[in-house]
Each structure stands twice: as structure tokens, then as C-alpha cells.
A and B are shown apart, each in its own frame.
Chain A
Amino acid sequence: MSRMAFAVAGLVAALGLLGAAAAGGPPTGGGVATALADIGPAPEVALTDQAGKPFALSSLRGKAVVVSFIYTTCNGSCPATTLGLFRVQQALRAAGLWGDKVEFVSISLDPARDSPDVLAAYARVYGADPVAWHFLTGPPGRVAAVLRAWGMWAKVGPSGVLDHPSRIFLVDPKGRQREIYNLEFLEPDAVVKDVKSVLEGGTGREGQRNAP
């Protein structure tokens, strides 16, 4: 890199400054055809719910489903996740969608401790409506297989507590993943909007928006 090269670069930059506007107008073209992409299939979940009954995620085809992963003794992101989902539940109820159009599934990351009874008590603490909010557990091996299928994991960290990612999945009526939230994006109004969007039938595979 020579001094000359820098001098040339500086000249170009100086010329360019003449055209540096404060801000442009609204752009045309670009972006995507639909905000919610088709991220991939929602893997099957066949476990036991908080009432001790068998439950399969595929039984909810035709509805939108919000899938989360928590454990009851967690003092990290899980309480905030479940509280956030409670708020979303209330927003969906207010929008007339709760139960008939959308249900929740929360899968235990600690099935050895989280028996159906423990999950039922946890659900009551958070005001989860058992009609459409299913807390699931099962044999640890089977739960571990579910976590792997969803790209999730839970492992004991240096402090002795379970470490895990914070992800909440929106599944459309056809069983496709359409959005993944974490706590920062678990805004009730935004989730209600997303649920309405996937209920309206978009596939997320629409073509790119073309420039006019």
C-alpha cells in the first residue's frame, strides 16, 4: 500500500462527499415477499402432558402452535419465557384466537424432575390455560431425542444448573416452522400478528419481491 494509493483514495472520497445526501427517499424493490419464511418442518413431539395423557404435536395440525422449551426449577430465562407466553396467551384470547386457532406446547428440558404433576403445578403458577397450553415430559431418552430434532440442547453448566438456548418456535397449521423468537422478540402484539399471518395461509415460500 503506497502513500499514492491513499492519496487517490482520499481524492475519491473527497469527490464523493459532494454527493453525500443526508438521507434518501423511500427505496423501491428489495426485501422479501413475506416476513415469515418457511424455516423447515416442525419435528414430531410425542410425549406426556401435565394431565398424564399422551400428547402428539401432530394432533394440532390445522392450528398455529407456539412451541417452547423450559424446565420448572430454572431461574434463568424460563420464568421470563413462561411469563411472556402467558401474556401472549392473554393477547391471543383477546383476539379471539386462543384455543380454537392456536395452542401452546412447552417441553421440559429436565424430564427427570419435571413429572406431569410438577408441570401441572408450574402451569397453575403461571396462569397457563390447560385447555390449550400443553406442558410435556416423558422418558429422558425420548425427550432428548425431541430436543435434538428441534436443534435444542440442555446441559449442566459450570454453575451446576442446566444451560440451554432461549428459542420459541411458531409452527403454522401445516406443521412448518415460520418464526423463532427469543425473549426480546416475544412481544404479544407481534406474535398475534404472526399467528394471524400463518392462519391466513401464506407458505413463506413466496418468491422474492421484484423491483417495480
Chain B
Amino acid sequence: MRERTGRGGWRAIVAMALGVLPLAGPARAETCLSPFVKRLDRPEKYLYVFCVDADAKDNDFVAVVDVNPDSDAYGTISYTLDLGSKGNETHHWGYTDDRTRIWAGGLLSSRIWIIDVATDPARPRVETVLNDVPKVAGLTGPHTYYALPGRMLISFLGSADGSVPAGLAEFTNDGKFIRRINNPDGAPYGYDVAVKPDLNRMVTSSFTPMRNYKKPLAQMDLNDFGREMVVWDFKERKPLQVGKAGLAPLEVRWSLKPGNNYGFTNCALDNSIWLFRGQADGTYAFKKVATTGALPADLRQSPDDKHLFVSCFGDNLLQQWDVSDPDAPRLVSTVAPGVQPNMMHLTGDGKRMYVTNSLLSTLDHAGRFWIRLVHVGPDGMKVDPFFNIDMNKLPTGPARAHDMLVN
């Protein structure tokens, strides 16, 4: 038996040498997606933009922007997918592991659309609408759509009644509820989730629940935002530690390099970047490492793990930080693409970053909405003067463009 096993092992090693090398693939890949999502293996042709009808009188929709430079329609909206209902506060979304579907959700309606982008990437179609998520999951405000193998993990902003505690839930890729994952005591708020598979660690962050974010800005309770970050044993879905960062730690961005046991978050109401880092005893330390412009709303990573991009919603700026030394980020580039830049989406080659400018209907202060392109090069960021999609003169009137994905 031992001898046979040995031969099998050698055969397997040879087979691996022959077969696995192509897996290495390009060193650069899309960032800020679940590591379980299949990466695009070519330049993007389509930019999907999740849009809120600005006056909530028409249905929310997905805009498909042609971003194929060889196309006559480059830089224009080539298709819109009507989502069939209005007033959802369509916000964030994410691919399933096999990149055939996008799960997309509304912060006010807690409605989730499962959108087929494989049958015809130029013309996505709604496959399923989940209308009863608060009932089945006991949570509201679906926020981050994070692919696991064959499933979707979703972080929510609040409990079924729009207050706290927030939590997470898992669904099958076609929309069947699997289970809820409760936040631990002392961490009632929810926002983002990100997994570091090689370390078996997951981190979640904090914002504010529907009872607060549905209000106009002037009426929001600034004491109803969280500052907690939870470190989890991912495999066990078990909370290990509740740490604290600045107020409203939003995006969770693990270092992209295997084995690196640290990551960053942007604290929106603290105007800062915080570092979370694993220590020798297994716990994590949380430390403020940079002061950003006002209201850092989104945080993105360069594929080489060297830079962070921060959208400073309150100062109308994008900042590029060199985080080669994670303890001492260094500001290397700043651009002003327009009023209140918010969501960013960087391509897998790290050279193009699409930008939108709506955060929430209750927080937006810009009168005009747009989608722009920022080129990222060795000398920093530059706004493309020719790529400027006006979201104010659509057939249904102005639309607030928020999250984006490329295909």
C-alpha cells in the first residue's frame, strides 16, 4: 500500500508540474472583489453602473457603459436594465464566484436582484428578485455582496426593524437563504466584510442602520454610527475580537499579498485611514495611520498592493496613498474629478479607475451626477478629459450613479 501510494504521489507531482503552471496567470488582477471571484482575463468591455433614479419617480436601473476603446459607442451608455421598482436606494453589488451573476441590493427596500451577466454581457437581465430578505434573514440594508464558493455572503447594516444589531447572511448563488451569522456583543453595527483565505480570517466593519441613514443628513444622529471592527475565524464563522477604529470604518481591504496579516479601512467620520494588523499573540491591533480629506467614502487598492485610493467625498478629491510602509502611508497624488466623488473601480491592470459621485440620496450635496475615468500611471492620477458621462439628461431624468463592476 505504501509503495502504491508513493507512485501515486510521484504521478500527482508530475501531473501538477504539467498542469498547474498555467494557473499562475497574470500577476495583476482586479482588486476589492472577493478572492473567490473569477478574475477578468482581458481588458474590460463593459462598465456596469448601479443607479438610483434621483427623484425616485422612475425605476432604478443598471447602466451599461461601453468601455471598449475599439467601439464606436465608447464612453456612452449602451444599454439600461430597468429593475422594475423605484425608491430602492440601489447601492452596492458583487459578482458570484463564477462571475456569471451580479447580486445587487437596495438599502431602503432591502430588495436584492440577481442579475445574469453571462448570457449576454452587453444586455444583462434580471434573473431573480428577492423581495423578502428581511423576513428570511432577519436583517435589513444589504450592503456588501461577497462571493464564497457556490454561495454569497452578505453583510447587512441593521436588524429586521432597521435598527441594530446588524449581521451577515449566506445564500446559495441562485437565491436560497442558508443561514444568518450574528454580530457579537459589543459590535452592533455592520457595513463591509472581507476574507483573507490564507489566514482563515474575516473582518467586518461598522456604519449606521436604516433608522438613521434613511433620514436627511441634518436629522441624522451622529451618535448612531459604529466604530467597531470584528475579526472572525472565517471557517468557523466565529467572532474572535472586537476592535475599535475611528468613527464609521467602512471598506475592509486586506493586503493582497499572501501571508500579509494586515489591512486598512477608511473611517468616514474620522477623516482617516486605519491599519489593522495581526500580532504575535493572534490578536489584532488597530491604529490610525493617515489623515485624509473630508469624509473618505471609498477605499480601493492597486493590484501591486502598493497604493490605496481614497475618495474624499467632502473635499471633492481623490487621493492616492503609497502604503509600501503600512504604518506610514504617504500621499503621492491628488485629483479633483468633480463634486463629491465617491465610488471608484480600478481595472485589473491598475491603469484605469472609473469614478461615480453619489453616496446616498440622503447625503448627496452635488446637483449633478456623472461617471468619469481617471488614468493611473507612474506619475499618479490624471482625469480623462474626454470620458465624462452626464447622468443628468437621461430619459428618466437625473440618476445617482453609485457602485460599478467591469466585464
Binding site for B on A (CB under 8 A): 1-2, 5-6, 8-10, 12-13, 16-17, 19-32, 35, 37-40, 74-80, 82-83, 86-87, 90, 93, 124-128, 151, 153, 158, 165-169, 180-182, 184-185, 190, 208-209, 211
Alpha-carbon gap, A53 to B65, bound state (A) = 52
Q: How far is the CB of B395 from chain A (nearest CB, A)?
A: 28
Q: What size tier do the contact residues of chain B reach? A: 35 or more
Inter-subunit contact B178/A9 (CB<8 Å):
no
Inter-subunit contact A208/B182 (CB<8 Å):
yes
Is B7 among interface residues, defined by CB-CB distance under 8 A? yes
Inter-subunit contact B271/A10 (CB<8 Å):
yes
Binding site for A on B (CB under 8 A): 4-5, 7-9, 11-16, 18-20, 22-23, 35-36, 38, 42, 97-98, 100, 148-151, 170, 172-174, 176, 178-187, 197-198, 217-218, 222-223, 227, 230, 232, 235-247, 267, 269-271, 283-288, 294-295, 314, 340, 363-365
Alpha-carbon gap, A76 to B25, bound state (A) = 10
Alpha-carbon gap, A55 to B179, bound state (A) = 32
Alpha-carbon gap, A19 to B236, bound state (A) = 30
Alpha-carbon gap, A75 to B364, bound state (A) = 49
Inter-subunit contact B241/A27 (CB<8 Å):
yes
Q: Within the complex, which residue of A2, A8, A16, A40 is in contact with B172, where a contact is CB–CB below 8 Å?
A: A40
Q: Within the complex, which residue of B5, B7, B218, B284 is in contact with A23, where a contact is CB–CB below 8 Å?
A: B284
Known A-B contacts A21-B244, A40-B176; the reply to A184 vs B287 at CB < 8 A is no
Q: Which chain A residues lie closer than 8 Å to B14 at the CB level?
A: 125
Known A-B contacts A31-B182, A182-B36, A184-B197; the reply to A13 vs B246 at CB < 8 A is yes
Q: Which chain B residues lie closer than 8 Å to A12 at the CB level?
A: 222-223, 247, 269
Known A-B contacts A13-B247, A27-B230; the reply to A185 vs B197 at CB < 8 A is yes
Alpha-carbon gap, A19 to B185, bound state (A) = 17
Inter-subunit contact A17/B11 (CB<8 Å):
no
Alpha-carbon gap, A43 to B227, bound state (A) = 44
Most A C-beta atoms less than 10 A away, residue of B13, B100, B178, B179: B179
Q: Within the complex, which residue of A31, A38, A126, A167 is in contact with B8, where a contact is CB–CB below 8 Å?
A: A126
Known A-B contacts A12-B223, A27-B239, A127-B11; the reply to A181 vs B244 at CB < 8 A is no
Q: Which chain A residues lie closer than 8 Å to B287 at the CB level?
A: 22
Q: How far is the CB of B349 from chain A (nearest CB, A)?
A: 18
Specify the chain B residue showing the minimal Cβ separation from A90.
B5
Alpha-carbon gap, A38 to B177, bound state (A) = 10
Alpha-carbon gap, A169 to B181, bound state (A) = 21
Inter-subunit contact B35/A39 (CB<8 Å):
no
Q: Which chain B residues lie closer than 8 Å to A13 at the CB level?
A: 246-247, 267, 269-271
Alpha-carbon gap, A9 to B312, bound state (A) = 14
Known A-B contacts A80-B16, A125-B15; the reply to A1 vs B182 at CB < 8 A is no
